[in-house]
């Protein structure tokens, strides 16, 4: 499974995410795919959501975790830094 693979490469990646915010399955999947360096259009295709929905999910996650408004790119940068 994708989660196990990423956790083996990036130690405790999902645990780090869950410690920041209790994510939904969709939010976790989006974050995992970002960590794999997939583009938003590819994430949209893989998750059967629109590109706009993926952008909204990313910016909302940033706001939920950091308590301030941020862009979808801000979330991507954060995820890639973990």
Looking at residue 47, its pLDDT comes to: 96
State the Cα–Cα distance between residues 80 and 82, nearest whole angstrom.
6
Q: Is residue 1 scored above 80 in pLDDT? A: no
Looking at residue 3, its pLDDT comes to: 84
Does residue 2 contact residue 68 with C-beta atoms inside 8 Å?
no
Q: What is the CA radius of gyration of the chain?
A: 12
State the Cα–Cα distance between residues 66 and 33, nearest whole angstrom.
20
Q: Is residue 77 scored above 80 in pLDDT? A: yes
Looking at residue 10, its pLDDT comes to: 87
Domain holding 45, by residue range, is 2-81
Looking at residue 6, its pLDDT comes to: 84
Q: What is the number of domains present in the chain?
A: 1
State the Cα–Cα distance between residues 61 and 29, nearest whole angstrom.
12
CATH of the domain at 37: 1.10.10
SS3 content of the chain, % helix, strand, coil (to 5): 75, 0, 25
Instruction: Give pLDDT tens digits for 4-49.
Output: 888 888 888 999 999 999 999 999 999 999 999 999 999 999 999 9
């Amino acid at each position: 499974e994708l989660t196990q693979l990423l956790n083996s490469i990036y130690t405790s990646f999902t645990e780090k995410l869950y410690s920041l915010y209790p994510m939904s399955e969709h939010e976790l999947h989006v974050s995992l795919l970002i960590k794999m360096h997939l583009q938003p259009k590819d994430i949209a295709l893989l998750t059967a959501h629109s590109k706009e929905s993926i952008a909204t999910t990313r910016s909302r996650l940033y706001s939920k975790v950091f308590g301030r408004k941020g862009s979808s790119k801000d979330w991507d940068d954060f995820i890639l830094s973990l």
